[in-house]
Structure 1
Amino acid sequence: MSVEALLARGRAASERLMVDACVIRRKTGETTDEQTGVITPVYATLYTGKCRVQQAGGATPAEAGEAYRLMLRLEVQVPMSIVGLEVGDEVELTSSPLDPDLVGRTFFVRDLAHKTHATARRVGVEEATS
């Protein structure tokens, strides 16, 4: 069996484990309501589809002003066909049949991993808790 065929089988197996769904977006600007002064971010959607969330490491304490926060490190896996992601992109979980507590959580891309024989695009993300 060729390396390409073996890798295709590995990618198909990896995608079968992607039972969650997410949307990945990038902030492209913002608009201001002239009546209220409310600033609303504007996003470009980069990907909508299946994914898998894995715990990558422990929580790191951080302080923002007087607020104590924990920065949770996770890994979001998406199909290898997803390209062009950048640090700072947002990942929002829209469905998670096996862990409903993930739905609605938003993570920020912090690490990008690249390798020749990857079976999934593994993206290091962070979630700030309060």
Structure 2
Amino acid sequence: MTDGCEIETVTGSTTDPESGEVTDTVEQVYAGRCRVQQATTTAGETNVGEAELLMLSRVLQLPVATSPGVRAGHRVRITACANDPDLVGRLFVVRTEFAKSHATSRRLGIQEATS
């Protein structure tokens, strides 16, 4: 695995009393090597209010031994990518978890909302 990512969970939020801006408080769950794969060649459309979002699905692979505790709902930020610099900085959400007894990597279904 030649890519890098950070995975975090939202633990709460704080509100700036002057601006009213809400900021999530997070806890890091994982930071290290990963691999991003395209799950399908199509994207799904989702409507949120009056906005139409294009949901892009990927599969995130992590080393099994060093990535326990990653769950659906956690946020993933790609921090390094050897072969596709456009992936760096992109933010995904873990949507599905796959598990098996003799896994060589932890596979997670992730999604990115685009407009």
Bin the TM-score by the shorter chain: over 0.9
Q: Partner letter of residue 61 of structure 1?
A: E
TM-superposed deviation, 1:86? 1.5
Partners of 2:56 and 2:114 within 8 A in 1: yes
Q: TM-score, normalised by structure 2?
A: 0.94
Which structure's CA Rg is the greater one? 1
Q: Secondary structure at the match of 1:101?
A: helix
TM superposition outliers: structure 1 runs of 4+ over 3 Å: none
| Letter aligned with residue 18 of structure 2 | Q
Q: TM-score, normalised by structure 1?
A: 0.84
Larger helix share, 1 or 2? 1
Which blocks of at least 5 consecutive residues in structure 2 are unaligned?
none
Would you say the 8 A contact 2:5–2:76 is kept in 1?
yes
Matches of 2:4 and 2:109 in 1, distance apart?
A: 17
Which among 22, 27, 37 is matched to residue 39 of structure 1? Answer: 22
Q: 1:113 aligns with which of 98, 103, 106?
A: 98
Give the whole-Å Cα distance in 2 for the aligned partners of 1:56 and 1:115: 19
- Indicate conservation of the 8 Å contact 2:30/2:70, yes or no: no
Structure 1: stretches of 5+ with no match in the other structure: 1-17
- The answer for the alignment partner of 2:38 in structure 1 is 55
Number of paired residues? 113
Answer yes or no: is 1:125 the counterpart of 2:104.
Answer: no
